[in-house]
Structure 1
Amino acid sequence: MMSNRKLRLRPMSITWRVLMFVALTVTICLSLMASLLNSSINHHFLQQDAGELEVMTHAIEHQLQGNFISNDELAVELEKAVSGHHGVYYQVHTIDGANIYSNSQYDFSTSAASAQMADKFEIDNIQLWELGGKTFRGLVTGVEVSGVAYKVTTAIDIGFHLTFLEEFKYSLWTIMTGSCLLTLLAAWLAIYQGLRPLRGLSHDVEDIQTNKMNVRLDTGKVPKELIDLVQSFNQMLDRLEEGFSRLAHFSTDIAHELRTPLTNIITQTQVNLSRPRESDKYQEMLFSNLEELEQLSKMVNDMLGIAKASNGLIKPNKQLLNTANEIQALFDFFDAFADEADITLQTTGSTLEIYCDQLHLRQSLSNLLSNAIRHAPKGSTVTIDCHESVEKTANISVINPGQPIPEASLPYVFDRFYRVDKSRKKHSKGTGLGLGLAIAKAMIEANGGRLSVTSDQHKTQFTINIPLAVKD
């Protein structure tokens, strides 16, 4: 069975879509015009023929009003009734069917028998008759003179009109076809020229490579309809360039981070294997190597945790938590570390109830607090402030005094293995080698929250924004 991908048809090209739309529109418009012209000409011929028939009918009725001794004398006068008209025919019968006069070899009596006889000329009573291979427009009227009723049949040969209409239709359809083809050609040329900027963009995009991510498309060289597209593409390139740059730095950083413990393990092992030693020396080496391996294992586990959280693979076990209880548990754990660093821990603000994973929250706060204690000057105070934001969410801020984070480094402090300066690299214990803030951010975002940082000459503040618990 073919897959859905194989069965899926390629979308129709823009050129064909526009050409089909133009062709349909032009065909409809030209057809309507042709129909209107044909209808107008037919109506004109009908009016013209109706005028001829009316003149003939009135002339014959006028002759019938005269005083004639016999039908033969009447026939002589009727012969003079209509003169100077080409292709016109008329017949006069008595009401009982006796023929008084006919100026045509065509017998219209059969056609006239089925026609409605009117007392006076009416255009709605004009009919089409087929007789002897010719087409006529005919009219049957009734005239009563001195108590005698007559049936007057008048007809006009419209063969010339029909021939003209056929030739006109042929010419019209020829012109319509030529106009449609010419319009489609003009539309194709317009589309081809209209898509020229896109072909230029495609050519420029081909020059963009992973080692040439600084290339940007020029918005001044495209029509205004494509400016938004070019700007969006350039913004995408900015994000990709930033991502590639971070990935390159990440690869370099992780290589440096892994090289030190691996070098230590290899060096210690080589030294101890260079000559026979006491068993306690080998045991000491193994303990040292184990410490380095545990550090490497923790780093790998932390990186896997960040990757899972970033890709939505971690499903938080959310529960109702009290911020005061969580902060107090955190202080109890860090009291000894803070005393050793001569740092005072305090909490301010209000007690809130939040809805998130307890393990994720404690891990995030632990990473932020250990980071704050390490970078706060001795004798200072590290504060955890908790309050409700204007967006009706909980803001939990970890604040420490000390040297500010450079403004240029603020966007990157949550990157894996990022170090603001070399002095911070000395602190490699606790939450991992440059992964603590990245882990904290990943855990908070996995619970639907945000982690941000601000820093100035007075303090550095990391703020967790997390949803409040919904009250019934």
Structure 2
Amino acid sequence: MRLNSRSSITRRLTLLFVIASSLVLLALGLVIASSVEKHFEEQDMAVLTGKMDLTRNTLAQLKSIDELAHLHHSMDNSLVGHHGLEVLVLSPQHEVMFATANAGFPLDLVLASAAKGPTHPALWKLGALTYRGIAAELPTGLRADSKVTVAVATDIAHHQAFMASFLQTLWLFVAGAAVLTGVLGWAVARRGLAPLRAMRDQTQAVTAQRLSHRLPVDSVPVELAELAQSLNDMLARLEEAFLRLSDFSSDIAHELRTPVSNLMTQTQVALSRSRSAEEYRTILESNAEECEHMARMISDMLLLAKADNGLVVPHRETLQLATEALALFDYYDAVADEKGVQLRLEGYAPVNADRLMLRRALGNLLSNAVRHSSENSVIYLRIQSTPEAVLIRLENTGEAISSENLARIFDRFYRVDPARQRSSEGSGLGLAITRSIVVAHGGTISVTSMDGVTTFTIALPV
């Protein structure tokens, strides 16, 4: 029986209970029926074998042809009280020497059974009746080579009636047991699946406003505990993602509100009265700066969105990290000199990466390090090659970052400054972009901050 994949578990279990119990009862009934039939056959064989031995003894006592007349009398006496028992004696010429009233068995069946011997019973049809019989060739006392064919059979009508009644009772019992098993199986399945329904009711309580709701793990059966824990883990991930999405939406609104407000304010002020061409030029330059800032932010957000969906595919080539780092040092030297910060490079190693993406990632880290380094300090960029990965460590000395801020330092729009003021510090997307670039290359990035030394570590696979 094929079950629909959308059918209920209760229905499936009920049908399986019914099928399993019916098959077991049928197998048990067939075994019992076979045993009863075997028992009847053994009983019949005991009677038939006894009469065959009696007939053999009677034939062995014949000494002359004249004594054949006494054969009928002896056989009739031996069959007294044995109703349904039939005996047929055939001469060597296959002529009937003795036969009971209903012993008109087909000659070919009797001879075929005699050839097999008296240990192999056969079923003989005689009209509407069925007999179980045996046949054998028995010697007589007349001559050593004088043998007659003897067939002994018993009516098994009462056995057949009993078996028919037994099988009818068996089928009715199996049918009733199947119905009863179906009802009990349905009740057991309903009760057994009650924890699933309870879990369903619990999950219905989860909404966008109640993502903190969790399923009780300790109050469910062991088989469902892992499922409940998996659902709780999924809810925790959804809650975290939802909170991040809410924060991200707030951050976007916050970041875009300031430049848009500046643009609107400057435009309204410019339109409030007539101005000279130089004043209009100054206002347009300021507006262009705000537009460039928004364009960069939108471009960065698009890059992050592609990275989240695995659409950022690096164009890999073999690069010398030391060469790329020195090129970035030349770009940031002027900014570092203003604070008296020195840039130092240690080590070298080749890496298979996208040149532009790698420069952007390292540039974001250098820009961040220069911005937050103490005056007259040293920024170290150390390159180390291992059998598994190429490690890039960027260390700068400055104010330590708290563990709470370290946990979210790679989040979008996240700044250590709780005021989140938009200034020369950028839009807060640099470290998030750096992490996306590293992940796109199959690497990892981490950060530590202890005793005033902050270290970013990038591991790129060899």
Smaller-chain TM-score bracket: over 0.9
Aligned twin of 1:292 = 290
The answer as to 2:453 corresponding to 1:455 is no
Give the alignment of 1:88-103 within 5 angstroms: 88-103=85-100
Aligned twin of 2:77 = 80
C-alpha distance in 1 between matches for 2:163 and 2:108: 24
* Cα gap change, 1:214 to 1:424, in 2 (>3 Å): closer
Aligned twin of 1:416 = 412
C-alpha distance in 1 between matches for 2:288 and 2:171: 93
Give the alignment of 1:143-162 within 5 angstroms: 143-145=138-140, 146-147=142-143, 148-162=146-160
The answer as to 2:382 corresponding to 1:385 is yes
* Amino acid across the alignment from 1:437: L
C-alpha distance in 1 between matches for 2:27 and 2:198: 40
The alpha-carbon deviation at position 113 of structure 1 amounts to: 4.3
Question: Percent identity between the aligned chains?
Answer: 37
CA RMSD of aligned residues (A): 2.0
* Cα gap change, 1:63 to 1:210, in 2 (>3 Å): same
Deviation string, structure 1 residues 71-130 (Cα, Å, up to 9, x no partner): 2222112211233322111122322234332222441253554433259x6321x21111
* Amino acid across the alignment from 2:404: A
Deviation string, structure 1 residues 231-286 (Cα, Å, up to 9, x no partner): 11111111111111111111212212112112212112222221222221111111
Give the alignment of 1:42-53 within 5 angstroms: 42-53=37-48
C-alpha distance in 1 between matches for 2:313 and 2:115: 93
- Secondary structure at 2:383 match in 1: strand
C-alpha distance in 2 between matches for 1:408 and 1:255: 24
8 A Cα contact 2:379 2:394, kept in partner: yes
Aligned twin of 1:164 = 162
C-alpha distance in 2 between matches for 1:447 and 1:312: 11
Give the alignment of 1:109-120 within 5 angstroms: 110=107, 112-117=109-114
- Secondary structure at 1:151 match in 2: strand
Aligned twin of 2:49 = 54
Aligned twin of 1:3 = none
The answer as to 2:270 corresponding to 1:276 is no
Give the alignment of 1:216-295 within 5 angstroms: 216-295=214-293
Aligned twin of 2:20 = 25
- Secondary structure at 1:219 match in 2: coil
* Amino acid across the alignment from 1:107: G
* Cα gap change, 1:113 to 1:227, in 2 (>3 Å): closer
The alpha-carbon deviation at position 338 of structure 1 amounts to: 0.4
The answer as to 2:122 corresponding to 1:127 is yes
The answer as to 2:364 corresponding to 1:367 is yes
Q: What is the TM-score when the length of structure 1 is the normalising length?
A: 0.91
Which is worse superposed, 203-212 or 272-281? 272-281
C-alpha distance in 1 between matches for 2:311 and 2:355: 17
Which is worse superposed, 42-51 or 246-255? 246-255
* Cα gap change, 1:173 to 1:343, in 2 (>3 Å): same
* Cα gap change, 1:108 to 1:424, in 2 (>3 Å): closer
Q: What is the TM-score when the length of structure 2 is the normalising length?
A: 0.93
* Amino acid across the alignment from 1:79: D
The alpha-carbon deviation at position 32 of structure 1 amounts to: 2.2
The alpha-carbon deviation at position 297 of structure 1 amounts to: 1.1
Aligned twin of 1:317 = 315
8 A Cα contact 1:112 1:153, kept in partner: no
Deviation string, structure 1 residues 418-442 (Cα, Å, up to 9, x no partner): 111247746535xx31111111111
The answer as to 2:440 corresponding to 1:446 is yes
Deviation string, structure 1 residues 25-81 (Cα, Å, up to 9, x no partner): 333323322221121111111111111101111112222233463422221122112
The alpha-carbon deviation at position 193 of structure 1 amounts to: 1.4
C-alpha distance in 2 between matches for 1:127 and 1:339: 116
8 A Cα contact 1:381 1:400, kept in partner: yes
The answer as to 2:458 corresponding to 1:464 is yes
Aligned twin of 1:398 = 394
* Amino acid across the alignment from 1:267: T
* Amino acid across the alignment from 2:459: N
- Secondary structure at 1:438 match in 2: helix
The alpha-carbon deviation at position 198 of structure 1 amounts to: 1.1
C-alpha distance in 1 between matches for 2:32 and 2:238: 62
- Secondary structure at 1:117 match in 2: helix
* Amino acid across the alignment from 2:99: S
- Secondary structure at 2:75 match in 1: helix
The answer as to 2:64 corresponding to 1:63 is no
8 A Cα contact 2:111 2:135, kept in partner: no
- Secondary structure at 1:156 match in 2: strand
8 A Cα contact 1:112 1:140, kept in partner: no
8 A Cα contact 1:346 1:384, kept in partner: yes
Which is worse superposed, 361-370 or 86-95? 86-95
The alpha-carbon deviation at position 20 of structure 1 amounts to: 4.0
Which is worse superposed, 355-364 or 246-255? 246-255
C-alpha distance in 1 between matches for 2:137 and 2:378: 122
C-alpha distance in 2 between matches for 1:414 and 1:464: 13
* Amino acid across the alignment from 1:35: L
8 A Cα contact 1:312 1:446, kept in partner: yes
Q: Please list every run of 5 or more consecutive structure 2 residues that lacks an aligned counterpart in the other structure.
A: none
The alpha-carbon deviation at position 321 of structure 1 amounts to: 0.7
* Amino acid across the alignment from 1:33: L
Which is worse superposed, 293-302 or 83-92? 83-92
